[in-house]
Amino acid sequence: RDLFYTNDVQSAIILLPGYPNSSLQPNATFKASVFVKKKLVKLVVNFLFYFRTDEEEPQGALLLEQCRVEREDSLVFSIAFLDEAERKYLFECDSQEQCQEWVDSIIKASYEFMRKNLIFYRTEIHRLTGKDPLEQYGIEDETRFQVTSGLQPVQKDN
């Protein structure tokens, strides 16, 4: 199981609350060629940014689309991208609650997830009220908000 970010040395990223000026102590332990590094990780829109200790510029970013987020154990969650299913990025949190929060937040941050929600609400509101809720915003024809074939199609009134 691949750990984050380096090839020859295994490392895990430990999550901290998202404040850039929080003090980070790099915590390197050696355990049979395993480094454990603390990095600041920040969720912004559908990207997960990670930072080297005390740096303000991100070191890298992961696009949170087409990925699977899983709870690995009480403090650890993983992100796997669908193109590389064997490779998991592991994240260790400070508490169980925090771990769950991160899992939920990352799932909900995906644009595709949000789009599905939108289509669901659009369809349901139309079903319940007979009105397409996107019409009031003039965006009912936008490609990105169209109902996919799996759901009941929205009827256009015009």
| Spatial separation of the C-alpha atoms in residues 116 and 91, rounded to whole Å | 26
Interface positions, 15-44, toward other proteins (CB under 8 A)? 17-20, 42-44
> CB within 8 A of 132, min separation 6: which ones?
122, 125, 126, 140, 154, 155, 156, 157
Q: Which of 14, 16, 40, 109 binds other proteins (CB under 8 A)?
A: 109
Residue 92 near residue 16, CB atoms below 8 Å: no
**Token reading at 107:** 């799932």
85 binds other proteins (CB under 8 A): no
Q: Give one word for 27, left, alpha or beta, with left for phi > 0 and alpha for psi -120 to 50.
A: beta
Stretch that binds other proteins, among 32-40, 59-67, 69-77, 91-99 (CB under 8 A): 59-67
Cβ-based nearer residue to other proteins, 46 or 53: 46
Q: Which residues bind other proteins (CB under 8 A)?
A: 17-20, 42-47, 49, 56-63, 65-67, 81-84, 101, 104-105, 108-109, 111-112, 114-118, 120-122, 124-125, 128-129, 133, 137-139, 142-144, 148
